[in-house]
Amino acid sequence: MDKIKIAHGSGGQYTYQLINDVFVKHFDNPILKKKDDSAILPRKNLRPVFTTDTHVVKPLFFPGGDIGKLAVTGTLNDLAVMGAHPAWLSCGMIIEEGFAIDDLEKIVISMARTADEENVKIVTGDTKVIEKGSCDGIFINTTGMGHLADSINFGVNQLESGDKILINGNIGEHAAAIITARQNFDIRFKTQSDCACVYSLIEKLTDELENIKIMRDPTRGGLATTLNEFVMEQRVGIKIDEEKIPIREQIKGFCEPLGFDPLYLANEGKFITIVKDNEAQKALSIMKSHDLGQNATILGEVTSQNPGRVILKTTIGSTRVLDMMSGEMLPRIC
């Protein structure tokens, strides 16, 4: 048997075999092995944090990652930017009839390895198989549960003029990797998705800083859209400095002829942190001493001017308003 059949989604013998031979084998843990309708988790005297993300990225395999790695990192990062410790994942797959079981296993191994590195367990799952032509290969939903310490309470309502805005590294890398993988562009520089779990760096920040106001990962919609989300409906604005935005020259050059604005490109291993002015340098040095933050910068600040707006000071000294993304530059980036 080398391809997925409709019967693999029947709930009967084939499903049982697929679950054992692929999912339980690689996600291997005692809770999943029970194969109950739900996973019973140990109780924990902390606030549960709960998030979901469905992954439809195209192509399924790309430089720096694949849909499996992305399905784990994407959801764990949504927990991490809340300040939560990621603990548990579910995995819901929709698979097209005829999908190669080898590819499925590669994806599952990638999920298992990524979760393992973060000490997260995939404890419950569901598999649907649908007729050839009714979906595009494989779609993966992961839903995550984490735990939030009482000391952590991020919120945009805490933003105040003077707060500093940091990012942990170069933008546009994930989108550029997907575009080149999809289009088979002949380019002279290496693209690789930045796809990574950022919790280990966020944990250091939350351990050592007292005045983190908010964090968020600029995925779909990119840096510009995430900054807009922070100040939308708030009494403060944001001003960022184009010169301080970490981005490779090659990515800039790559975007220009294609008409992409890197400020709106998706990232998968980046997060924006806003901290009180007095902790900005400390935050920066924590980031820079971590693998995932070597190109970190302080790229702007919260302002009392222009409430609800994000203003970019360009390299030539002019200013312009950065809106949320309108329309869509690049579907199926994640």
Residues 69-128 that bind a copy of itself (CB under 8 A): 78-79, 81-82, 84, 88, 90-94, 123-126, 128
Q: Strands 121-130, 85-96: parallel, antiparallel or unpaired by DSSP?
A: parallel
9 near a copy of itself, rule: CB under 8 A = yes
∠ at Cα 194 (145, 271), nearest 5°? 55
Torsions phi, psi for 195 (to 5 deg): -35, 110
Minimum separation from the CB atom of position 52 to a copy of itself (A): 4
Tell me the C-alpha distance between 92 and 111, whole Å. Answer: 12
**Secondary element (H or E) of residue 141:** strand 138-148
CB of 195 to a copy of itself, least distance (A): 16
CB of 63 to a copy of itself, least distance (A): 22
Residue among 311 and 324 whose Cβ is closer to a copy of itself: 324
Q: How many residues bind a copy of itself (CB under 8 A)?
A: 80
* Cβ pair 36, 128 in contact under 8 A: no
**Contact (CB, 8 A) for 146 and 82:** yes
**Using the rule CB under 8 A, which residue among 7, 101, 209, 311 binds a copy of itself?**
7
Looking at residue 279, the DSSP 8-state letter turns out to be G
Residue 14 interacting with a copy of itself (CB under 8 A): yes
Shortest distance, CB of residue 43 to a copy of itself, whole angstroms? 5
Q: Which is nearer to a copy of itself, 12 or 253 (CB)?
A: 12
Q: Residue 321 corresponds to which tokens in the numbers above?
A: 């308003």
**Minimum distance, C-beta of residue 188 to a copy of itself, in the bound complex (Å):** 30
Q: State the nearest-atom distance from the C-beta of 92 to a copy of itself, in Å.
A: 4
**Span 185-224, contacts to a copy of itself by CB under 8 A:** 216-217, 219-221
CB atoms within 10 A of CB 151: 8
Residue 172 lies near a copy of itself (rule: CB under 8 A): no
Among residue numbers 27 through 66, which ones bind a copy of itself (CB under 8 A)?
A: 35-56
Sequence-separated (6 or more) residues with CB below 8 Å from residue 283: 164, 166, 205, 209, 212, 273, 275
